[in-house]
Amino acid sequence: MNNRTREWWTGFFFIVPATILFIAFVYYPFIQSIFYSFTEWDSIRPAKYIGLDNYTFLLEDSKMINAAKNTLLITIFGLAIQNPLSLLLAVLLNRSFRTRAFLRTAFYLPVVVSLVVTSIVWGSILQYDGLLNGLLDKIGLAEWGRDWLGNSHTVFPTIIALTQWQGLGYSAVIYLAGLQSIPQELYEAAKIDGASARRRFFHVTLPLLMPAITIVVFLTIVGGLKLFDIPYVMTGGGPGSSSYTLTLAIYNAAFRENTYGYAIAAGIVLMIFIMIVTLIQLRITRRREVEI
């Protein structure tokens, strides 16, 4: 056996265990879940084949449709509000001033804290007799006080605001890393050419920041479409279905209503939707990336 053949067999035997585990715990369950999505299955009795009924019912299920609308709204808010705000925050934190290190830590801190802990703390603050209404009462705005998470008109905007607050620091850190990778010589050359601060931002910073923008937009889309923790801990999707998200609706369909086949069908549709959206996003943003 020559060296080339020996190296091939060595590599083969290194890969085989990981491949077997991957097939057993990823591919096999995934293929099996596709089968169950075409069945009526409660995890106790044998699965009964029902064709496309689960997928058809997705289009008629008002809870799932409402959850899809809420999920899309959270994702759009993430792209339209959180994304520009985190870029602005990164630009400000990239400047030199005395409290810069403290502010960077303060804005990143919500990312380090568990979402479950964050949800419990904010849930306590936003109760009718919580800290927020107490503060409003002290400054003479008692009429503004309300049960922020128990009112169907305020619960979803409140959850959107919390998701934006929680993700702001994470996106800003990625943008900050991108800003610090841009060579200062390019800014100095632009200044010598007479470029204003606005022109330097749009013609130097933004094009060279596209790799970071690609990552942040990708993570914002995936994070928004998969949001589960905050609405699950704070409201359980209520009141009614006003704060339902798709992942929460899928969880309830599986573990509370025992309609596993239907939940799997919804999960597969969500996975395909995320794949399509992120592939389109990556194709658009990567085309605009500029190498130094």
Confidence band for 98, pLDDT divided at 50, 70 and 90: confident
pLDDT value at residue 38: 95
Q: What's the Cα-to-Cα distance from 281 to each of 103, 170, 276, 284, rounded to whole Å? A: 31, 20, 9, 5
Tell me if 50 is assigned to some domain: no
Q: How far apart are CA 281 and CA 278, in angstroms?
A: 5
Tell me if 70 is assigned to some domain: yes
Q: Render pLDDT for 244-290 as a digit per residue (tens, 0 to 9).
A: 899 999 999 999 999 999 999 999 999 999 999 999 999 998 887 77
Q: What is the mean pLDDT of residues 184-195?
A: 89
Give the CATH number for residue 77: 1.10.3720.10
Tell me which residue range forms the domain holding 190: 61-287
Residue 7 confidence (pLDDT) above 90: no
Tell me if 229 is assigned to some domain: yes
pLDDT value at residue 211: 92
CB hemisphere CA count around 232 (13 angstroms): 14
Confidence band for 129, pLDDT divided at 50, 70 and 90: confident
pLDDT value at residue 64: 92
Q: Render pLDDT for 45-55 as a digit per residue (tens, 0 to 9).
A: 889 999 999 99
Q: What is the mean pLDDT of residues 128-139?
A: 90
pLDDT value at residue 68: 94
pLDDT value at residue 1: 67
Q: Render pLDDT for 196-255 as a digit per residue (tens, 0 to 9).
A: 888 998 988 999 999 999 999 999 999 999 999 889 988 888 888 888 899 999 999 999
Tell me if 11 is assigned to some domain: no
- Number of domains comprising the chain: 1
Q: How far apart are CA 253 and CA 247, in angstroms?
A: 10
Tell me if 198 is assigned to some domain: yes
Tell me if 54 is assigned to some domain: no
Q: How far apart are CA 205 and CA 179, in angstroms?
A: 7
